[in-house]
Structure 1
């Protein structure tokens, strides 16, 4: 598989993250702007291997003042190698609130499997965000708040 490290993203990582993100790389300017903003604000962590960036994860605190994994993206070539799991674990370990939420579409079966393997619990379903594809919400609860172990 090859080793990789998880570290805090810097502003200089933004262009490489655009290349990792299939939506941003496909020309979505809003996603590109979000990636730049997340990097600038220190909200993203990245997985980096010898070949470069493999994926990233973003945690924000705008969901009822609780942590929320806004984005988890793994490069297609790096999927199935534990990158997503390590990024989710880093997000949970660095979360500054007792609860960490995320969501995914009902159609995203691979993300649902990853969340369940990583210890997340389904907590709700929301219709109306994406027509015909409800959003499933998940929770990973912690006993205490963490200090940021991500360098």
Structure 2
């Protein structure tokens, strides 16, 4: 399956050709952050990003990497400011949880990012730890996708939708 129909928008694996459009909706990349722009191009090139799109174009993206203690980790979730409040972030999180290839899926956000914390809690993620020292004065909260942990098959792997 190339895409997963999510109602008014679809979720699909990003391609290298999506990188410029993702840079255009990422509020940090738009401000000229060369590191973020390079990361977006790398994520798209390696097939690590999943995008949500509708007839108007790309609405947001989510990146999962498998370098966090050999478990899935949502490295980035970004929803275009104009698409916020439409369920895009939740649908992206649900899609990456369903496609995660490890028994556990984690993410983190700053204590100051209340909107991300609310999204994670509504999506069924549970807080599992706090780390000081990454961003001075703004600790990092770590979350575990409980749905992903519960959905893992007996062999410890979840069935992955085919985004390719």
* TM-score bracket for the superposition, by shorter chain length: over 0.9
Aligned to 2:163: 150
Please point out which of 101, 120, 123 is paired with 1:118. 123
* SS of equivalent to 1:98: coil
Structure 1 residues 2-151: aligned runs within 5 Å: 3-140=8-145, 141=149, 142-144=151-153, 145-151=158-164
Helix, strand or coil: the match of 2:50?
A: strand
* 2:4 aligned partner: none
The two structures have a TM-score, normalised by structure 2, of: 0.89
Q: Give the Cα separation in 2 of the matches to 1:117 and 1:62.
A: 26
Task: For residue 75 of structure 2, give the secondary structure of its aligned residue in structure 1.
Answer: strand
5+ long unaligned stretches in structure 1:
none
Does the residue aligned with 1:81 lie in a helix, a strand or coil?
A: coil
Question: For 2:102, what is the secondary structure of its paired residue?
Answer: coil
Cα displacement (A) at 1:42: 0.2
2:3: which partner in 1? none
Q: How many residues align?
A: 150
* RMSD, matched Cα: 1.0
Give unpaired runs (5+ residues) of structure 2. 1-6
- Give yes or no for contact 1:93–1:149 (8 Å, CA) kept in 2: no
SS at match of 2:35: helix
Shift of 1:146: 2.2
Equivalents in 2 of 1:147, 1:81: separation in Å? 25
Q: Is the 8 A contact 1:90 1:150 kept in 2?
A: no
